[in-house]
Amino acid sequence: MSATATQTQTHTAAPSTPLPYSPSSQEAPLRPWKFHLDEAGAIIIAVHIIAAASLFYYTPAAKTWWLTFVSWQLGNFGVTVGIHRLWSHRSYTASLPLRFALGIMATMAFQQRIYWWAMRHRLHHRYIDTDMDPYNAKKGFWYTHIGWVYEKVHYPKMKLIDRKDLDEDIVVQLNKKYFVPLSIFFCFVAPTILGATWGDALGGFLYGGCVARVAIWHCTWSLNSFAHLLGDQPYSTEHSAKGELIVAILTNGEGHHNYHHEFPNDYRNGVKAHHYDPSKWLIWAFAKLRLAHSLITIPDAEIAKAEIQTLEQHARRMRQIAEEEDRLLWGPELESLPVWTLAEMKRLVADEGRDLFVIDGLVLDFAAFTKRHPGGEKLLTAYRGKDATKAFYGPLNNHTKSARTLLRTMRIAKVAP
C-alpha cells in the first residue's frame, strides 16, 4: 500500500431529505454567559495590549517583519495541519519526526495544550450548536470569537469523548507536560533571540512574539465566529458551519467549514481542485515524502450525495414558495386587462366618482386602500383621474417593494398608447 493510500468511509444515504438547520431547532434554553478571568485569559489580554502598543509606537527592522510572518504561519500550520487535522480528527497518520515538528509548531500557536484543544474540538463537532458546544454559534459572533475564552464551564459530556489516541501519543503527552516552558521559549524567547541576530531583539519580542500570537489567535477564532455565521452551505444545512473564502485564506484552508463539519475526518477541507487549502497541499506533500500516510478522503459519490441532498432541500423550499405564491392574490395578469383611453378613465372618475389613477400605464382602482394609505387619504385623492407615476417613484416618497406589489392587486385596465 502506498503512503498516500485512501481510506474509504462507508456512508448510508438518508432515506429522505434531512431538514434544514434552524437556530430554533434546539428546545433547551441557552446557558447565560458569565465572565470569568483566569491566568490564560489575563495573558491573552496582556499580549493584545503589548501587540497593539507595538503597532503604534515601535517600528521593527525589515527582517523582523519577515520573522513575524514566518512565526505567524508556523503557528497557523501547527493548528491546521497538526492540532486540528492530525490530533483532533485523525485524518492522516504522521511519522514520529513529523509529529515532533508539528508539536513544536502547535506550541507556537500558543492556544493551550494539544490535548486540551483536541478534546474541546471533538466535543464541538459532536454537540455542535448546543450548550455542550464550547463555541456555540447560537450565542452570536462575540461569544464564538472570544467570549468563550472568558467563561468557566464544566462539560459533563466531555467524558464521552474518545481520548485513547491522545493518551498514547508521546508528542501530545510531552506537550501536555512541558507546555509552559516550551510555549514561552518558542513563542517569545526564540523570536527575541532571532531578532537580536540583526540588532532588533525588542522587535523580535514585540512582533515575532506578541503580534504574531495575536494574529494566530484571531485567525483560529475566526473559524468559530465567521465560519459559523457567514458563507454558503453546499454540503449540509443541518448545522451552522459555512464555507467562507476569506476565512480559508486567513486559516490556511480551514474556511471550507461546511464541508469539514459534514465530513470531519477528511484530510482535505477544500475538497474541490480550485479550493484554497494549503494545509491539504502540505499534508499531501508530507505523504509524498513518506512522512505521512493513510490520508483519509471521502469518496466522490458520498460528497455528491451530500451536495444533491442540499440542492433538494433548496428545491423543496422553492416548491413550497411556489405553492404559497399560488394561494395568494397577486392581481390580474396584464394580458387579461381591457384597454382604456385616458378619456374613458376620466369620465368614470367624473361621472361615477371612481377612485382611479394611472401608474406605469395601468389604471388602478385605489378605493379600498384610500383610508389605509400611510401618507393619508388626501394625498391619494389629489391624483384622482391623473397619472401618478412620477409621484409614486418621485422624490416625495421611496415606496417599498410591498407597496409596488400591492399596486398589482389594484390594476383594472391598461391605458391605450
**Sign of the torsion formed by the C-alpha atoms of 93, 99, 103 and 109:** negative
To the nearest whole percent, how much of the chain has pLDDT over 90? 76
For residue 413 the three cell numbers come to 385596465
pLDDT at site 327: 79
- Residue with cell string 501530545: 172
Residues 6+ apart with CB under 8 A from 154: none
Residue-wise pLDDT for 141-169, tens only, equals 999 999 999 999 999 999 999 999 999 99
In order of their start, the domains of the chain are 39-314 (no CATH), 334-415 (3.10.120.10)
Query: What average pLDDT does this structure show over 304-330?
Result: 87
* Distance (Å, whole) CA 411 – CA 361: 10
**Sign of the torsion formed by the C-alpha atoms of 13, 16, 22 and 27:** negative
* Distance (Å, whole) CA 412 – CA 365: 7
For residue 409 the three cell numbers come to 392587486
Residue-wise pLDDT for 10-23, tens only, equals 333 343 344 444 44
pLDDT at 374 over 80: yes
Which amino acid makes up residue 372?
Answer: R
CB burial of residue 205 (10 Å; 0-12, 13-18, 19+): buried
Whether 285 and 111 have beta carbons less than 8 Å apart is answered as: no
Residues 6+ apart with CB under 8 A from 165: 90
Q: What's the whole-model pTM score?
A: 0.77
* Distance (Å, whole) CA 352 – CA 364: 15
Residue-wise pLDDT for 325-337, tens only, equals 777 778 888 899 9
Helices (H), ranges, 58-196: 62-77, 96-108, 114-126, 141-145, 164-167, 170-184, 190-196
What residues pair up with 415 in beta bridges, in sequence order? 340
Q: 3-class SS at 40?
A: helix
